[in-house]
A = this chain, B = another copy of it.
């Protein structure tokens, strides 16, 4: 598993509190899927059969709730990257990474919104994990390029470009799996070395830091900072 249970979190809770926590998370996923990530907190609480105060005590901000609700998906992302690095065929790993993340985006309706929401690094530990993830991804890219499978002018930020645009697509067309798959197929094709025909415009200066690949914490409890 990934980055769960940190900082004396849910384990030290009383039994009923732990049960309520789980209920809240489950309800949050459902509600976020139905009404988007901006759904009223009270709706989540009602759905969980819990008072608003309980919800706010456990997750002081909406961010905290969102992060915790989709922590599982984020863990899967991180694990897929690890597996991709272990794959003897680097292109295979790269391709699977893109496909898996996009699959997650299209499967869990609220996830895309959570995906683009910018979460500040809450702890030093998170920052460390994120940096390691970035390094791992760079390694994967270089390896795939060295193997002659990934085009030489592919820039790491292109990965973010792909994910963010796919994210926008599934947000605009929730439920249209065909459209999502099409985009992924087109993008993967144009990332292949054989596809490199003309020159590309300059890459974005965007870093990967804001993508949940970098496994943000699942707990919350940050000061506030809007």
Contact = CB atoms under 8 A, between A and B. Distances in A.
Interface string A54-82: 00000000000000000000000000000
A197 B194 CA distance: 9
Interface in A161-175: 161-162, 164-169, 171-173
Given A161-B169, A161-B183, A168-B172, A202 B178 contact: yes
Interface residues of A, number: 40
Interface of A: 116, 155, 157-158, 160-162, 164-169, 171-173, 176, 178-179, 181-183, 185-187, 189-192, 194-195, 197-198, 200-206
Contacts of A204: 173, 176, 178-179, 182
A172 B178 contact: no
B158 A164 contact: no
A167 B176 contact: no
A134 B167 CA distance: 26
Contacts of A169: 161, 164-165, 168
A178 B194 CA distance: 23
A223 B26 CA distance: 39
A172 B164 contact: yes
Nearest to A189: B190
A43 to B, nearest CB: 18
Between A173, A183, A186, A204, the greatest number of chain B beta carbons within 10 A of the residue's beta carbon is seen for: A186
Contacts of A162: 183
